[in-house]
Structure 1
Amino acid sequence: MSTPSLEERIERLESIDEIRQLAARYSLSLDMRDMDAHVNLFAPDIRIGRDRVGRAHFKAWQDETLRDQFTGTSHHLGQHIIEFIDRDHATGVVYSKNEHECGGEWVIMQMLYWDDYERIDGRWCFRRRLPCYWYATDLNKPPIGDLKMRWPGRQPYSGTFHELFPSWKEFWADRPDKESLPEVAPPAPLDKFLETMRRGTPAPKIRVR
């Protein structure tokens, strides 16, 4: 494997910064309801559902969703891990803590996004954002127990916060023997951290809220 040149390393750093700005712009444009700014963060041929393609369809869907469900929102980003597939494609995980004004209730949410990024015509875009939820509940009602997704006027249901990573179920399914030291797997390659954690599992099916 050849050592990347200085130009390639600088390009990689610039791409990382642009992708992180992409996630920040997503939150700001969504919270400020600038639908044109928002949908232009996605690939021009973004797919909406089974048979709709393009930013215009995405804008119509987002507009309807936001008007029907939320008076206001605020998305607060946490850690952001980015790994490159090649020069123009990358994947990433972004934590997000969100607040939603839903009529007479104030719903807080903890989630992460599993992202696919693509550089198109020199600019990084979202190819896909997969929202994986841990909980959503009224501010005054801690989401203890199962079925942590608790929106006003809906039956509680499970999120997909842990389904991306098999380690969650493995951790709770197998208690180590305290009489012996556990085995430690070798470190993941530097640019394969997320891929190693996923272990080839398929993306979970997301329930549209």
Structure 2
Amino acid sequence: MTDAALLRRIERLEALDAIRQLPAKYALALDMRDMDAMVSLFEPEVRVGKGASGRQALRAYMDRTLRAPFTGTSHHIGGHIIEFDAEDRAHGIVYSKNEHETPAAGGADEWVIMQMMYADDYVRVEGRWFFARRLPLYWYATDLNKPPVGPAKMRWPGTEWVEGNFHKLFPSFAEFWAREGDSGAPVAEPAPLDRFLETMRRGQAAPKVQVRATE
């Protein structure tokens, strides 16, 4: 192996480690309500909604959304898959299991549990990796004592129940339930290196997301 090839491998490992720390740092900063620490994980010109951009706009938005609905939160980070699009750009999927203490109608607090994943985009700016975008994909949210069995699994206190988008980025889930058994087709070849997520998505567009609360 040449020195240049070894250097590229070391740089890739360093990039993977830096990106893997971003969701963990995000969870800690969010749960501890350190708004400056949280927004510093995003690129300087991060988009915030349709008409704003930048870390200050993101901080103002998150400050508003974290005050009304919750007393406290805890975000538990799970599996993280990262693939590179270019030397300075990457994307990934990371699981998150979350807990929220939240006031319900009539003043009684509820303990809302949530299962979701993030579809992330990452960018390296001046040698440092940041979030470029976080797309939240929800499966369920409900009070701890009310299992989310059945449709419309997003069940926040004081709101109408709605369907999540946990499975909508990957067409395989709907295809699985649309057939009665194994298709009998030959097993597909393994996905190319750094193309596992792209292969699973098969060109599926990102679903529209109504960002709710901290997620």
C-alpha deviation, 1:208, in angstroms: 2.6
- Distance in 2, Cα, partners of 1:116 & 1:16: 13
Give the Cα–Cα distance (whole angstroms) in 2 for the partners of residues 190 and 87 of structure 1: 15
- Residues 79-109 of structure 1 show CA distances to partners (whole Å, capped at 9, x for unaligned) of 0000001110000000000000102000000
Q: What does residue 71 of structure 2 align with?
A: 71
**What secondary structure, in the 3-state scheme, does the structure 1 residue paired with 2:153 have?**
coil
Using the alignment, how far apart are the partners of 1:78 and 1:176 within structure 2? 30
1:193 alignment partner in structure 2: 196
Tell me, in whole angstroms, the C-alpha distance in 2 between the residues paired with 1:192 and 1:50: 30
Shift of 1:207: 1.6
TM-score w.r.t. length of structure 1:
0.95
What RMSD, in angstroms, separates the aligned Cα atoms of the two structures?
Answer: 1.6
Residue number in structure 2 paired with 1:168? 173
8 Å contact kept, 1:176–1:182: no
Residue 182 of structure 1: how far off its partner (Å): 4.1
Query: What residue number does 1:202 align with?
Result: 205
Give the structure 2 partner of residue 111 of structure 1. 116
For 1:145 and 1:116, the matched residues in 2 are separated by 32
Counterpart Cα distance in 2 of 1:182 and 1:53: 47
- How far the C-alpha of 1:190 sits from its partner, in A, is 1.6
CA distance in 1 between partners of 2:48 and 2:77 (Å): 24
Letter in 1 for 2:136: P
Following TM superposition, the consecutive aligned residue runs of length 4 or more in structure 1 with deviations greater than 6 angstroms are: none
The Cα shift of 1:183 comes to 2.3
Matched residue, 1:141: 146
Measure, in 1, the Cα distance between the counterparts of 2:93 and 2:114: 17
Residue of structure 2 in register with 1:21 after alignment: 21
* Structure 2 Cα separation of the partners of residues 85 and 97 of structure 1: 27
Work out the CA distance in 2 between the residues paired with 1:60 and 1:7.
Answer: 41
Counterpart amino acid of residue 72 in structure 2: G
Any gaps of 5 or more consecutive residues in structure 1? Answer: none
**% identical aligned pairs:** 64
The alignment of Structure 1 onto Structure 2 pairs a total of residues equal to 206
Distance in 2 between the 1:181 and 1:62 partners? Answer: 49
SS in 2 for 1:68: coil
SS, match of residue 191 in structure 1 = coil
